[in-house]
Amino acid sequence: MAEILVLVDHADSDVKKVTLELLTLARRLGEPSAVFVGNGFDSAKDRLAEYGAAKVYVADGDDMSSYLVGPSVDVLAKVLEDAGSVAAVLLSSGAEGKEIAGRLAIRTGSGLITDATDVTSSGDGLLAEQQVFGGSTVVRSRVTTGTPIITLRPNSTAPEAASAGADRVDVTVELSDAAKGARITDRVVEEKGERPDLSGAAIVVSGGRGVGSGENFSVIEALADALGAAVGASRAVTDAGWYPHQHQVGQTGKTVSPQLYIAAGISGAIQHRAGMQTSKTIVAVNKDPEAPIFELVDFGVVGDLHQVLPALTDEVTKRKA
């Protein structure tokens, strides 16, 4: 079976859920091999084995994480060159995954498809499905030149375990000058709580200007905690400094596609919708019955979020007990 490369998305060897999704998808298309760039393979190995990586190409060393994007491009290009016939390279549709994919496409003369929501075998190739224009149009495309390089949105495939060896194959690369152009001199984590990561969360509870203040965001957090959800925010909120920017959902924030998205006090501006419109189930609480967010919802409550949310939190806690 043809080999499918999956670039492992990890932070200090902590493998992100999207990688497990990509491995699951890769198993439907061929034989999945993971590519691990950076230190920490030993602690990641079990997860990769559990989700079916037959082989793991490993390129470690401090240099691999000292530069932006470039090292992963060099490593993937080398693996492609050495491995011979690879049917596709799958990456996560995060900022970095897409940049790596873009550069790899040019380096290897390969076509690129970003933000796919599914990939299937079709004819003698792969067909990628994308949802464009805020989810209003479904597009199916295929790569016609080189090795298909495809980035997938988190939450597009449900991860399923299937054990395999995750056998280590060392990759030795001398980083190119291009890879060492942009040096990362500092990493600042502005806030990292106990809540799930926004991009991969199954449930997201987001607050907008209607929440009223930074302190009031506790009503959003309380509901999120009751549901085991991540916290999101509109730009009005992050601009006002009520909540950190990394929680912003929308065109210039994160694109999320959870099973359930709850928007409270958010009007539903086009730029906000761009980041959440493909969520499976959408719920809104807004006191204005004319708010455009109601055009998208599966269930909407016209009312004051300061009344509805705390009552809902109690109800959820009660039912879960």
Partner 1 sequence: MNIVVCVKQVPDTWSEKKLDPADNTLDRGATDPVMNEMDEYAVEEALRLQEASGGEVTVLCMGPESATETVRKALSMGADKAIHVLDPGLHGSDAVATSLALAKAVGTTSYDLVLLGSESSDARMSVLPAMLAERLGIPQLTFAKEVTVDGSAVKIKRLTDDGYQAVEAQLPAVVSVVEKINEPRYPSFKGIMAAKKKPVETLSLGDLGIEAGDVGLGGAWSAVESFEAAPPRQAGTIVKDEGDGAAKLAEFLASKKFI
Ligand X SMILES: Cc1cc2nc3c(=O)[nH]c(=O)nc-3n(C[C@H](O)[C@H](O)[C@H](O)COP(=O)(O)OP(=O)(O)OC[C@H]3O[C@@H](n4cnc5c(N)ncnc54)[C@H](O)[C@@H]3O)c2cc1C
Binding residues (CB under 6 A) for ligand X: these are: 208-210, 234-237, 248-253, 265-267, 269, 271-272, 275, 285-288, 291, 304-306
Q: What are phi and psi of 294, to 5 degrees?
A: -65, -20
Residue 191 contact, options partner 1, ligand X, none, Cβ 5-8 Å cut-off depending on partner type = partner 1
208 binds, among partner 1, ligand X, none (CB under 5 to 8 A by kind): ligand X
User: What whole-number distance in Å separates Cα of residue 37 and Cα of residue 8?
Assistant: 8
Closest to ligand X by CB, 147 vs 248, is 248
Q: Count CA within 13 A, CB hemisphere, residue 250.
A: 23
Rounded Cα distance, 77 and 106, in Å: 10
Tokens of 231: 């916290």
Report the DSSP pairing between strands 112-122 and 125-132. Answer: antiparallel
Select from ligand X, partner 1, none the partner in contact with residue 144, using the beta carbon and a kind-dependent cut-off of 5 to 8 Å: partner 1
Residue closest to ligand X, measured at CB: 250
Q: At closest approach, how far in Å is the CB of 135 from ligand X?
A: 16
Name the residue nearer to partner 1 (CB basis): 52 or 94. 94
Non-local (6+) Cβ contacts of 259 within 8 A are 155, 202, 203, 279, 280, 281
CA dihedral 82, 167, 155, 13 (to 10 degrees): -100
Minimum Å distance from CB 200 to partner 1?
Answer: 10
Which of 234/277 has CB closer to ligand X?
A: 234
Which is it for strands 31-37 and 3-7: parallel, antiparallel or unpaired? parallel
Return the number of the residue (98 or 287) whose C-beta is nearest ligand X: 287
209 interface partner picked from ligand X, partner 1, none, CB below 5 to 8 A per type: ligand X
Evaluate whether 199 touches 253 at the Cβ level (below 8 Å).
Answer: no
Question: Cβ closer to ligand X: 10 or 254?
Answer: 254
- Of the pair 120, 163, the CB lying nearest partner 1 is at 120
- 3 state SS of 70: helix
Minimum CB–partner distance for residue 165 and partner 1 (Å): 31
Nearest Cα neighbor of 161 from 18, 26, 16, 49 is 49
For the bound state, the minimum distance from the C-beta of residue 253 to ligand X, rounded and expressed in Å, comes to: 4
178 binds, among partner 1, ligand X, none (CB under 5 to 8 A by kind): partner 1
198 binds, among partner 1, ligand X, none (CB under 5 to 8 A by kind): partner 1
Instruction: Give the nearer residue to ligand X in terms of CB position, either 69 or 308.
Output: 308
Please state the length of the chain. Answer: 321
User: Which option in ligand X, partner 1, none does residue 140 bind, with CB closer than 5 to 8 A by kind?
Assistant: partner 1
CB of 249 to ligand X, least distance (A): 6
> Considering the complex, what minimum distance in angstroms separates the CB of residue 231 from ligand X?
14
Q: Residue 41 Cβ, how far from ligand X at the closest point, in Å?
A: 35
Helix 17-29 × helix 41-50 angle, to 10°:
50
Closest CA to 30 of 56, 6, 58: 6
